[in-house]
Structure 1
């Protein structure tokens, strides 16, 4: 069996291993090599990561300043807008990065590199997808750490270690689902122009139809229903609750939806279900594309 390894120039070379000697080991080796390739590309173009960190920090600072004179109690008891906004910025930044996950795969398709991988004797072509998912997840966690640090610096506070771990888990569940959706679109759509169009059309409507910028109670009833169908809201509200309450638990009510109360545990299950549904729905397309 041959498996790819990333070289210092960003290309993938092939190393000889016994045929089917260790399928799991071969899959991991291929995934690591392809993930290294993406990080080598990032090292050559660090502006991508820098911009990905600066943009949400600008959102946090500018939007926080814009509403800093809002009446006390407008966003909750003893809660300023900076504290309220932090969760929305974390989630929307992770969502935006995950939605762009399909672009590198799409460019590999258009430049012919993906065809080279598909004809290579990989133990599993799903390593191509796994590498992209790992890369995007790592980028999202780096961005999340930067936002959490800036929020703490601006006075929004900092959850305890368990709370930070739960924030990372929530971000991870959202990123897995949205990354899978983006990768599925990368294999379904004809070119990067169409994928970019989907990203542009999707980004802002999902932002404004969520609880990222305003509480659910501020919205008209029809928009409240839309927001409660938006998976972003089920990531934003638990993170916001963790930030604002030290005594949180899985039974804590994090959102008052028009149809009933949503607990933190229920929000996690909804995010898990969202990721599972997307992963299952893209399986047929991935099998056809990677066959």
Structure 2
């Protein structure tokens, strides 16, 4: 734990020297939030959507999509450290190997939390409604949404690190991210209610971790949350995140043996 803390502090110090990074991390979610929010705002009038404000419906979708898309690029940072020789220099220190990977994942989790909080606040300022001022819904629901986004981000950041150490090619990470981002987004309820999807798409959403995060977040933000469903989706995300971190650590050990 002390090694992980040290390595995380090192990464956060480097991040603090790039304040514009956090600004640009919010530009794309803002575009999604307000562009899609205005373009599709009348879609709630379709029978079966459920009514309400589309902006309120969209905020969790943008939070989850942003968590996925930003964490998909974590492997690029790992590649940069490999190319600069930084990663190899850490291999001759007594620092625990798991701490090197865990620090990367924690940094991404903190960035995802900042990004998600900013999106929720922007949505609230624009008129999105988070049911209840207290439990159930309200702040509790928002916290569940943030945790779901962090867990989903952990899945993709750990997998991206694993791919980066295995292939050591930027083009592969770029191609993989481009391949996965839109299908995983549109095979979820990020922008469209499940009831209005074609049958085959509804079937695929059940196996999509992006939709697990949305189901947990949106479920906790309702007036009467189904906490059993929320916990089931959150538990599935937690297990997948643990598996992804374990795989990333194993991949790092394989990289260590290869250098």
Relative contact order, higher structure (CA 8 A, sep 6+): 2
| Structure-2 change in CA distance of 1:36 and 1:59 (3 Å) | same
Tell me, yes or no, if the aligned pair for 2:220 and 2:230 is still in contact at 8 Å: no
* Structure 2 CA distance for aligned equivalents of residues 185 and 210 of structure 1: 24
Separation in structure 2 between the aligned mates of residue 121 and residue 281 of structure 1, nearest angstrom: 22
Find the counterpart in structure 2 of residue 191 from structure 1.
Answer: 169
In structure 2, the residue matched to 1:14 is none
Q: Where does residue 23 of structure 1 map in the other structure?
A: none
Which runs of structure 2 are paired with 1:150-189 in the superposition (5 Å)? 150-158=122-130, 159-189=137-167
8 Å contact from structure 2 (residues 212, 237) kept in 1:
yes
C-alpha distance in 2 between matches for 1:279 and 1:117? 19
Contact 1:107 1:192 in 2 (8 A): no
The answer to whether the 8 A contact 1:87-1:237 is kept is no
1:67-78 map, 5 Å: 67-70=40-43, 72=45, 74=47, 76-78=49-51
Give the 3 Å change call, closer, same or farther, for CA 42–279 of structure 1 in structure 2.
closer
Asked if 1:97 corresponds to 2:75, the answer is no
Give the secondary structure class of the aligned counterpart of 2:209: coil
How far off its partner does 1:214 sit?
0.8
Structure 2: give runs of 5+ residues left out of the alignment: 131-136
Is 2:227 the partner of 1:271? no
Specify whether residues 74 and 110 from structure 1 end up closer, same or farther in structure 2 by C-alpha distance, changes over 3 A only.
farther
Structure 1 residue 241 displacement after superposition: 2.7
Partners of 1:75 and 1:83 in 2: CA distance = 17
| SS state at 2:5 partner | helix
Residues 1:169 and 1:199: Cα distance change in structure 2 (over 3 Å): same
Q: Tell me the residue number matched to 1:34.
A: 7
Structure 1 residues 280, 44: closer, same or farther in 2, change over 3 A? Answer: closer
Q: Which has the higher helix share?
A: 2
Q: What is the match of residue 39 of structure 2? A: 66
Relative to total residues, which structure has the larger strand share, 1 or 2? Answer: 1
| Unmatched tracts of structure 1, length 5 or more | 1-26, 252-262
Q: How far apart are residue 284 of structure 1 and its match? A: 3.1
Deviation at 1:215, TM superposition (A): 1.4
Matched, 1:246 2:255: no
SS of 1:232's equivalent? helix
1:286 to 246, 252, 255: 252
2:91 is paired with a residue whose SS is helix
Q: Deviations for 1:100-153, whole angstroms, at most 9, x for unmatched residues?
A: 12211111001211111112232x122111111111000000001001101111
Q: Tell me the SS of whatever aligns to 2:42.
A: coil
Moved more, 64-73 or 44-53: 64-73
Q: Give the whole-Å Cα distance in 1 for the aligned partners of 2:251 and 2:145.
A: 31
Change (3 A) 1:203 1:118: same
Q: Who is 1:20 aligned against?
A: none
Q: How many residues align?
A: 251
How far residue 183 of structure 1 moved from its aligned partner, in angstroms, is 1.4
